[in-house]
Amino acid sequence: MANVAVIGAQWGDEGKGKVVDWLASRADIVVRFQGGHNAGHTLVVGGETYKLSLLPSGVVRGKLGIIGNGVVIDPEALLDEIARVEGQGLAVGPDNLRVAENAPLILPLHAALDKARETARGERKIGTTGRGIGPAYEDKVARRAIRVCDLAEPATLSAKLDELLLHHNTLLAGLGAPVFDKAALLAALLALAPRLLPFAEPVWERLDEARRAGRRILFEGAQAVMLDVDHGTYPFVTSSNTVAATAASGAGVGPGAVGFVLGIAKAYSTRVGAGPFPTELVDATGQMLGDRGREFGTVTGRRRRCGWFDAALVRQAVKVGGIHGLALTKLDVLDGLPELRINTGYRIGDKIFSRLPAAPGAQAAAEPIFETIEGWSGSTRGARSWADLPAQAVKYVRRIEELVEAPVTLLSTSPERDDTILVRDPFEG
């Protein structure tokens, strides 16, 4: 049996929630390995809708959830999320949720700095959620982060706050934002400690034991490859590595433990916030895709920009993300369109590129090279086998496979969990 890592193959919001939920029902452990509460997964189970940002999706299925060391954790946001899902009837406690003791914390000063910087950028805003994820990762790399384990040592916590406030209050004051008081922050963290520490442990030990015992582990990624801080459309990216290789370092396992990498992609393209989007549609078709697909961010609430499927971009994500197979979602949104377009490459000036260049100016100037394909008149919604699909819909999926150089191993045809066509079981490798 293989473990499975799930990552987004576009700019996020590809419908990972449903796919992860489907896989989580067959896993023993579900691990979040990067990102923060800027990510969002929506799960619909038994008529109940769960909106998760930090909790691994497996908790909805009664599986052990683990938040790895690669995640930056806002303790208030985590505890609020636990309370919210408990209000929906789920039980979440140290018996079914474990948190890496070496995971960095997001503090209120991180969010304040995030927002102040974004305001200072003016028209050059990146589109950050303002939740402090970037500044928290900066502190981790600068070796001044407060981690979960520090909550157990008041003296360590106090000393670290001195260093942290020296840095952040200087920046906040320079940006004209209010500064933070050490005593208030220290008191708040010490009050949170007895609520958070019961979840903490060296999760790498538990995962090593699980791997040796042959238990199925699902590694759950946030955001997507094209938001990766190294490989995405920089600087319009998130602050962590989103590729599957991060599942190992962000959970504390060896790279061989990651297993099958499943990339999630919509049958069209969407993006939230600023940044290049070569196939974006700013016409009635783009509006229609957004309306049909209910394209609003789970976390941000912002409407997503919509466009045609970008095969060149997904092919790039397949290669740098280590993707073995794709889960294609929201095929039903395209039902009834007389023709569809797929981007196969980019034209920048008089040059043709098969990939999206790294330079921001080139990315902004990239024009899509479209291939037109006939649409279908029948419905794909709710299909559970290839035989249920219109012939032209099958041709569309097959053409995507050819262009992205990866097989479609799972096809989602509605938000309902069971409306799924399984071609290859990721857990079988």
**pLDDT by residue (tens digit) across 23-62?**
988 899 999 999 999 777 777 777 778 888 899 988 888 8
pLDDT for residue 373: 96
Residues 292 and 311 in one domain: yes
Residues 378 and 277 in one domain: yes
- 423 pLDDT higher than 60: yes
Residue 22 CB contacts under 8 Å (≥ 6 apart), including other chains = 417, 420
pLDDT for residue 1: 55
Residues 25 and 64 in one domain: yes
Residue 288 CB contacts under 8 Å (≥ 6 apart), including other chains = none
The CATH number that applies at residue 172 is 1.10.300.10
pLDDT for residue 367: 97
Question: Is 13 in the active site?
Answer: yes
What 94-98 contacts at long range (C-beta under 8 Å, 24+ apart), as own/partner pairs, is 94/198, 94/199, 96/59, 96/62, 96/63, 96/64, 96/65, 97/55, 97/56, 97/59, 97/64, 97/65, 97/66, 97/67, 97/199, 98/64, 98/65, 98/66, 98/67, 98/199, 98/200, 98/201, 98/203, 98/206
Alpha-carbon span 124 to 239, nearest angstrom = 17
The CATH number that applies at residue 210 is 3.40.440.10
pLDDT for residue 104: 98
**pLDDT tens by residue, 262-295:** 999 999 999 988 899 999 999 999 999 999 988 8
What is the Cβ-side half-sphere exposure of residue 270, based on CA atoms within 13 angstroms?
A: 29
**135 upstream amide cis, omega within 30 of 0:** no
Residues 316 and 241 in one domain: no
Residues 163 and 248 in one domain: no
Last residue of one domain, picked from the residues 228, 245, 260: 260
Q: How confident is the model at residue 201 (pLDDT cuts 50, 70, 90)?
A: very high
Using alpha carbons, list the distances in angstroms from residue 400 to 136, 387, 406.
38, 18, 9
Residues 349 and 272 in one domain: yes
Helix (H) or strand (E) holding 328: strand 325-329
State the chain's mean pLDDT as an integer: 92
**CB-CB neighbours of 181 under 10 Å:** 11
Q: How confident is the model at residue 126 (pLDDT cuts 50, 70, 90)?
A: confident
The percentage of residues in the chain with a pLDDT greater than 70, rounded to a whole number, is 98
What is the Cβ-side half-sphere exposure of residue 222, based on CA atoms within 13 angstroms?
A: 32
Residue 67 CB contacts under 8 Å (≥ 6 apart), including other chains = 31, 32, 54, 55, 56, 73, 78, 97, 98, 99, 100, 103, 203
Q: Which of 41, 110, 168, 324 is catalytic?
A: 41
Helix (H) or strand (E) holding 247: helix 246-249
Domain count for the chain, please give it.
3
CB 1 within 8 A of CB 29: no
**pLDDT tens by residue, 309-342:** 999 999 999 999 999 999 999 999 999 999 999 9
CB 3 within 8 A of CB 219: yes
DSSP-assigned letter for residue 418: T
Residues 62 and 174 in one domain: no
Residues 158 and 304 in one domain: no
CB 63 within 8 A of CB 21: no
Last residue of one domain, picked from the residues 146, 175, 196: 196
235 SS3 class: coil
DSSP-assigned letter for residue 230: T
Question: Is 324 in the active site?
Answer: no
Residues 177 and 237 in one domain: no
Last residue of one domain, picked from the residues 196, 229, 246: 196
Residues 88 and 222 in one domain: yes
DSSP-assigned letter for residue 104: B
Lowest-confidence region among 44-53, 252-261, 404-413 = 44-53
- The residue segments making up the domain with residue 181 are 108-196
Residues 235 and 185 in one domain: no
Residues 290-300 as b or e (16 or more Cβ within 10 Å = b)? bebbebebbbb
pLDDT for residue 80: 95
End-to-end CA, the chain = 7
The CATH number that applies at residue 407 is 3.90.170.10
Alpha-carbon span 251 to 14, nearest angstrom = 23
Give Rg (Cα) of the chain: 22
pLDDT for residue 125: 78
Residues 113 and 46 in one domain: no
